[in-house]
Amino acid sequence: MAVGLKNIWVLSRKAIDQRFDRQFGVNTSGRVELTELTIECGRRQSGVYYEPTPRRTFFQILRSLHIEYSRFDFVDFGCGKGRTLLMASRLPFRTIHGVEFARELADEARGNVQRFVDPRRACFDIAVSCADAANFAIPDRPVLLYLFNPFGPDVMKAIVGNIEDALERGTPEVLVVYYHPLSLDIFEASPYLECVARRRLVFDLASPQLRGYAVFRGQRARAGRRPCA
Ligand SMILES: C[S@@+](CC[C@H](N)C(=O)[O-])C[C@H]1O[C@@H](n2cnc3c(N)ncnc32)[C@H](O)[C@@H]1O
């Protein structure tokens, strides 16, 4: 009986997760392990498998920010097959950029961007780079960096260092949206980043588990740091 209920739950979750793909004729759902993929940088070990952010969760988080999207570039570090890029294009971001180190996933993301037709689309400037997120140059304009638990502490530390350098160089505003934030301490330790929102659990039928998120705002070195409450 319990096994039957579990199967029903897994199948319903899968169906909800695939609804986005059926609606837009794209391929963004499912989990993909990194073992068989082509990754040319030496970071495979710290990378986390591909799994897309559920649609409902993504919009719930983005809408909670209350920002003027058109002021920001959107960057997803570890964009996988690019579902976040497609979803973000419904909001009027200045530009949208996905960074993915596995070649097959980056190619799939580019194909999805080309196939995606949505009458509610508000941003058409979307690019995908096949690269290590640790080497991505953070733009010198207001930027929203999106992370869904993409990699371990080594790459996360490099990203935080890049954010700090960008702020020192004069990037006016950096917002970090960190979904399923397993390396929160690295962000909290930065004198440049302030935790402005933290939700421990977000319920979404399409997600295999309850996950939370944190939002950080980057500014040039702050006097008093405040960890996530
Ligand atoms: C959990 S998935 C998140 C997918 C996507 N961001 C989303 O929310 O739908 C993590 C992704 O990060 C990618 N990744 C891991 N390490 C990376 C790195 N160093 N540089 C770029 N991409 C990386 C993985 O290949 C995988 O596609």
Hey, what are 159's tokens? 């990203």
Band of pLDDT at residue 112, cut at 50, 70 and 90: very high
219, pLDDT greater than 90: no
Q: Which atom belonging to ligand 1 lies closest to the Cα atom of 147?
A: 6
Ligand 1 atom 7, closest CA:
52
From the CB of residue 174, how many other CB atoms can be counted at a distance below 10 Å?
Answer: 24
Q: Is the distance from the beta carbon of residue 80 to the nearest atom of ligand 1 less than 6 Å? A: yes
pTM (2 d.p.) = 0.94
Report how far residue 141's alpha carbon sits from residue 156's, in angstroms, rounded to the nearest whole number: 21
Hey, what are 175's tokens? 């917002």
210, pLDDT greater than 60: yes
**Ligand 1 site-directed mutation target among 28, 38, 46, 51, most atoms within 8 Å of CB:** 51
Q: How far is CA 110 from CA 31, 39, 91, 99, 212, in A?
A: 18, 17, 19, 11, 28
Q: Mean pLDDT in the chain? A: 92
Q: Is the distance from the beta carbon of residue 78 to the nearest atom of ligand 1 less than 6 Å? A: yes
Report how far residue 167's alpha carbon sits from residue 219's, in angstroms, rounded to the nearest whole number: 6
Hey, what are 214's tokens? 């944190």
223, pLDDT greater than 60: no
Report how far residue 213's alpha carbon sits from residue 205's, in angstroms, rounded to the nearest whole number: 17
Give residue 179's pLDDT.
97
**Ligand 1 site-directed mutation target among 58, 100, 112, 144, most atoms within 8 Å of CB:** 100
Q: How far is the CA of 54 from the centre of ligand 1 (A)?
A: 14
Band of pLDDT at residue 222, cut at 50, 70 and 90: low
Q: What percent of the chain has pLDDT above 90?
A: 82
Give residue 8's pLDDT.
78
Give residue 3's pLDDT.
67
Hey, what are 208's tokens? 């295999």
- Count Cα neighbours of 211 within 13 Å in the Cβ-side half-sphere: 22
Q: Is the distance from the beta carbon of residue 216 to the nearest atom of ligand 1 less than 6 Å? A: no
Rg of the chain over Cα atoms, rounded to whole angstroms, equals 17
Give residue 108's pLDDT.
98
Hey, what are 181's tokens? 């934030």
**Ligand 1 site-directed mutation target among 21, 41, 49, 50, most atoms within 8 Å of CB:** 50
Name the residue with tokens 């939002």.
215
Domains and CATH numbers, the chain: 2-218 (3.40.50.150)
Q: Is the dihedral of CA 32, 34, 38, 42 positive or negative?
A: positive
Polymer length in residues for the chain: 229
Q: Is the distance from the beta carbon of residue 43 to the nearest atom of ligand 1 less than 6 Å? A: yes
